[in-house]
Amino acid sequence: AQKVTQAQTEISVVEKEDVTLDCVYETRDTTYYLFWYKQPPSGELVFLIRRNSFDEQNEISGRYSWNFQKSTSSFNFTITASQVVDSAVYFCALTLSNDMRFGAGTRLTVKP
Amino acid sequence: GAVVSQHPSRVICKSGTSVKIECRSLDFQATTMFWYRQFPKQSLMLMATSNEGSKATYEQGVEKDKFLINHASLTLSTLTVTSAHPEDSSFYICSASYGVPSTDTQYFGPGTRLTVL
């Protein structure tokens, strides 16, 4: 069975702090895809990144970076120098065989 | 690119009525569309997957007679909540992908908040 665990339910930081959102996944398949989505208060999910299981290279996009480690089945997401606009719920997801499974989400609050 | 719209964004209806929610891919042809349900402060739960021109595949526990899904074209899917009851009140979100569903990114609509009185 496939499963995504986001153990951090809520995180609160002060603006300009760095914050890491954890994601641990379970799957027996060797081919799968991992995603991160952002859901701001408006409700719409915003796609952030997709990573396939064969690509363990870390990625950086502006203030966002992702650390994919197959050895620990983790796909963690770091925001550096956080801003108030980063406040949202962040979902990690795993997909294979026409089936996307979401983690429970982490609610990030960035205070000014 | 990859914009998905939903209509309406909010709907309030009386118990027993039916509500139709539209999901459109605006700038691409969606081979597959997905319908999710999200309760307050919870994650997204997949309800069904639909491919254009074929019957939707429902997740276990989702009543197909209650949640009717039609995927009439490569850019439009509809979800009809039939004989809605207060427990159907939720945030319904659709998504669409234009490649192999298991590998391609799903792009999400803005969601529809349904309140059944």
Report how far residue B110's alpha carbon sits from residue B105's, in angstroms, rounded to the nearest whole number.
16
Report how far residue B70's alpha carbon sits from residue B18's, in angstroms, rounded to the nearest whole number.
15
Q: Tens-of-pLDDT digits for all 117 residues of chain B?
A: 689 999 999 999 999 999 999 999 998 888 889 999 999 889 999 999 988 878 899 999 999 999 999 988 889 999 999 999 999 999 999 999 886 655 678 899 999 999 999
- Condensed to tens digits (0 to 9), the pLDDT of residues A7-21 reads 999 999 999 999 999
CB contact under 8 A, A100 and B46: yes
**A76 closest CA partner among A89, A64, A61, A88:** A64
Residues of B in contact with A37 (CB under 8 A): 108
Task: Give the pLDDT score at B104.
Answer: 72
Nearest CB partner across the interface for B102, out of A43, A95, A107: A95
Task: Give the pLDDT score at B25.
Answer: 92
CB contact under 8 A, B103 and A33: yes
More confident of the two residues A31 and A110: A110
Report CA torsion sign: A36, A37, A38, A39.
negative
Contact of A9 with chain B, judged by CB distance below 8 Å, is answered with no
Mean pLDDT (whole number) for A30-56: 91
Q: How far is B33 from chain A (nearest CA, A)?
A: 11
Task: Give the pLDDT score at A35.
Answer: 94
Nearest Cα residue in chain B from A40:
B110
A-B contacts at Cβ under 8 angstroms: 52
**B98 closest CA partner among B21, B7, B5, B4:** B4
Q: Give the A window 46-105 contacts with B, CB below 8 Å.
A: 46-47, 50, 52, 91, 95-100, 102-105
A67 in Cβ contact with A58 (< 8 Å): yes
Nearest CB partner across the interface for A91, out of B41, B43, B49: B43
B112 in Cβ contact with B21 (< 8 Å): yes
Residue with tokens 């089945």: A73
- Checking if the pLDDT of A109 tops 80, the result is yes
Residues of B in contact with A107 (CB under 8 A): 41
Task: Give the pLDDT score at A30.
Answer: 87
Nearest CB partner across the interface for B108, out of A44, A50, A52: A44
CB contact under 8 A, A99 and B102: yes
Task: Give the pLDDT score at A98.
Answer: 64
